[in-house]
């Protein structure tokens, strides 16, 4: 007779020879807990876009004929929230085949063709085109070409005169910054930090205070995003972000005179550092004084980026007053004032169709505010709209932000709603499209 036993509060299940529960029993138990009809609907939509009938799922349960493909088993386990230990795993992701994406592209050395001369003007023009493309969609498909350009610059930079060397290093800085930004958007934060550190080293080497402050500012961005999109409760990366913004503030010689920012760097960059630095500080406040200071720096930064025109020679700093409203909304939700957050976010101008990321990010912050106010239907709609845009833009870092909203919705009394289920399905397809081919 087959031995059966309980595993914690689960079971009883038949026991395998290795002492683990019989997987088919676990799947049956959790499908019944979840609801047979509901499972058929959600599993069918995930796999093929059409619901499975109750009869089809009951046949599966009767014969205990569950999928053997790793991807499908992962989908079932995720959908049913099966604890990994019941499947003999440390993590449900251990079920998945290895996934190779842009991480490989961002870490390999390309084969470099011979090039007699480097036309720095053309290199700068190409860099500008890459950056403009990134604002619409994460341009992972150009990584090989960007890496090739970096290696050409590295091969030549030591063998040109000093004036050309300086200009070449500035262009090289921009390319490392571009790769750091692409890696950050894919959530390959280790690779992003590797390239931003190289950019920072170049800025120090040529003693360019503007680029030095800019690199610290961008590194703060990377650490903040890694903290905000993590599933851990560790605040180490948040404090690293704050530290980098504070260092950028010092390098840029930023101070206030008569309620306005002054600095030894461009006014727009100084405003960006003040705005984003204040935003990071607002997520790490300990008392009312720190909260007041964080919002003060954000207001000063918002005023600066709204007053001073973007400087085209500083890559990836093109903030607007819309950025200020989004950051204020984000900080206000975090500090417990969703009503004021909604007021600030409704100032965002939604007129420019080209600002795909900005509009979707606004929807993410609006959704967070509505979750805080327990307006779950509105939050679900906004999160779904944002996901569609961010998935099209290949922005994994923002998909991760939406995942946090989804987890909050699942923990609410609204978790059984069909629209929340559809959001969860859409998130799965965005996170692992290879499982649905």
pLDDT at residue number 81: 86
CATH at residue 361: 1.25.40
Within this chain, do residues 184 and 113 fall inside the same structural domain, yes or no?
Answer: yes
Q: Which parts of 175-309 are beta strand (E)?
A: 255-257, 260-262
**CA angle (345 as vertex; 342, 351 as ends), nearest 5:** 140
- Whether residue 257 lies inside any domain: the answer is no
Residues 122 and 71 occupy one common structural domain: no
Same domain, 426 and 324: yes
Query: Does some domain include residue 223?
Result: no
Closest of 329, 286, 282, 320 to residue 301, by C-alpha: 320
Query: Per the structure block, which two tokens stand in for 154?
Result: 């590295």
Tokens of 97: 């085949």
Residue 337 forms part of a structural domain? yes
Residues 370 and 325 in one domain: yes
Do residue 149 and residue 54 come from a single domain?
Answer: no
Q: Same domain for 34 and 142? A: no
**Is the same domain home to 81 and 110?**
no
Please choose, from the candidates 67, 85, 84, the residue with its C-alpha nearest in 3D space to the C-alpha of residue 24.
67
Q: Which of 89, 115, 130 is the last residue of a domain?
A: 89
Domain end call among 32, 58, 89: 89
pLDDT of residue 295: 96
Low-confidence ranges of the chain (pLDDT < 70): 1, 97-117, 134-141, 308-318, 352-354, 436-437
**Do residue 430 and residue 363 come from a single domain?**
yes
* 327 falls within a domain: yes
Q: Is residue 178 part of a domain?
A: yes
What pLDDT is stored for residue 291 in this prediction? Answer: 94
Query: Please, where are the H alpha helices in 96-208?
Result: 102-107, 120-134, 143-156, 162-186, 189-205
- C-alpha pair distances (Å), 10 with each of 4, 14, 277, 375: 12, 12, 47, 34
Last residue of a domain, one of 207, 238, 271: 207
**pLDDT confidence of residue 45:** 82
Q: Judge whether 250 lies within some domain.
A: no
Instruction: Kindly give, in sequence order, each residue whose CB lies less than 8 Å from that of residue 36, ignoring residues fewer than 6 positions away.
Output: 54, 57, 58, 61
Question: DSSP per residue over 379-413, as a string?
Answer: HHHHHHHHHHHHHHTT-HHHHHHHHHHHHHHHTST
- Counting Cβ atoms within 10 Å, is residue 403 exposed (0-12), middle (13-18) or buried (19+)? buried
What confidence score (pLDDT) does residue 311 get? 55
End-to-end CA distance of the chain: 42
Torsion of CA 63, 67, 73, 76, to 10 degrees: -60
Predicted local distance difference test score (pLDDT) of residue 137 = 60
Tell me which residue of 353, 359, 277 sits closest to 325, measured CA to CA: 359
Instruction: Provide the pLDDT for residue 9.
Output: 92
Shared domain for 352 and 437, answered yes or no, is: yes
Residue 414 lies in a domain: yes
Per residue in 27-53, pLDDT tens?
999 999 999 999 999 888 878 878 999
Domain with 8, as residue range(s), is 4-89
Q: What is the domain count for the chain?
A: 3
On whether residue 170 sits in a domain, the answer given is: yes
Does residue 79 sit in the same domain as residue 124? no
User: 260-262 and 255-257: which strand pairing?
Assistant: antiparallel
């Amino acid at each position: 007779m087959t031995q059966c036993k309980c595993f914690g509060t689960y079971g009883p299940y038949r026991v395998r020879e290795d002492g683990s529960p019989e997987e088919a029993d676990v799947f049956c138990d959790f499908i019944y807990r979840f609801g047979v009809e509901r499972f058929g609907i959600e599993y069918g939509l995930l796999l093929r876009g059409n619901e499975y009938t109750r009869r089809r799922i009951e046949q599966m349960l009767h014969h205990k004929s569950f999928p053997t493909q790793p991807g499908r088993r992962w989908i079932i386990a995720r959908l049913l929230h099966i604890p990994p230990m019941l499947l003999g795993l440390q993590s449900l992701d251990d079920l998945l085949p290895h996934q190779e994406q842009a991480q490989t592209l961002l870490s390999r050395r390309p084969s470099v063709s011979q090039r007699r001369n480097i036309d720095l003007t053309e290199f700068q023009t190409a860099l500008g085109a890459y950056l403009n493309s990134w604002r619409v969609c994460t341009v992972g498909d150009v990584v090989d070409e960007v890496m090739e350009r970096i290696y050409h610059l590295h091969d030549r930079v030591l063998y040109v005169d000093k004036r050309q060397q300086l200009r070449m290093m500035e262009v090289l800085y921009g390319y490392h910054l571009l790769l750091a930004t692409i890696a950050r958007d894919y959530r390959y934060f280790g690779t992003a930090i590797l390239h931003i550190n190289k950019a920072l080293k170049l800025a120090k080497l040529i003693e360019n205070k503007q680029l030095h402050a800019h690199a610290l500012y961008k590194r703060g961005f990377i650490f903040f995003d890694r903290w905000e999109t993590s599933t851990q409760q560790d605040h180490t990366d948040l404090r690293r972000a704050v530290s980098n913004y504070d260092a950028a503030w010092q390098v840029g010689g930023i101070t206030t005179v008569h309620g306005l920012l002054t600095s030894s760097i461009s006014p727009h960059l100084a405003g960006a550092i003040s705005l984003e630095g204040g935003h990071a500080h607002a997520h790490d406040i300990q008392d009312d004084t720190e909260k007041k200071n964080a919002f003060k720096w954000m207001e000063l930064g918002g005023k600066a980026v709204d007053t001073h025109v973007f400087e085209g020679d500083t890559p990836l700093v093109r903030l607007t007053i819309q950025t200020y409203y989004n950051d204020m909304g984000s900080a206000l939700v975090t500090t417990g004032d969703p009503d004021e957050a909604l007021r600030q976010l409704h100032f965002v101008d939604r007129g420019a169709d080209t600002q795909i990321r900005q509009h979707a990010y606004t929807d993410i912050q609006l959704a967070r505010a509505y979750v805080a106010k327990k307006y779950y239907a509105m939050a679900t709609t906004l999160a779904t709209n944002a996901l569609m845009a961010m998935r099209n833009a290949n922005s994994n870092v923002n998909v991760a932000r939406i995942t946090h909203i989804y987890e909050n919705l699942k923990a609410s009394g609204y978790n059984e709603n069909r629209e929340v289920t559809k959001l969860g399905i859409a998130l799965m397809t965005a996170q692992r499209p290879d499982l649905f081919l």
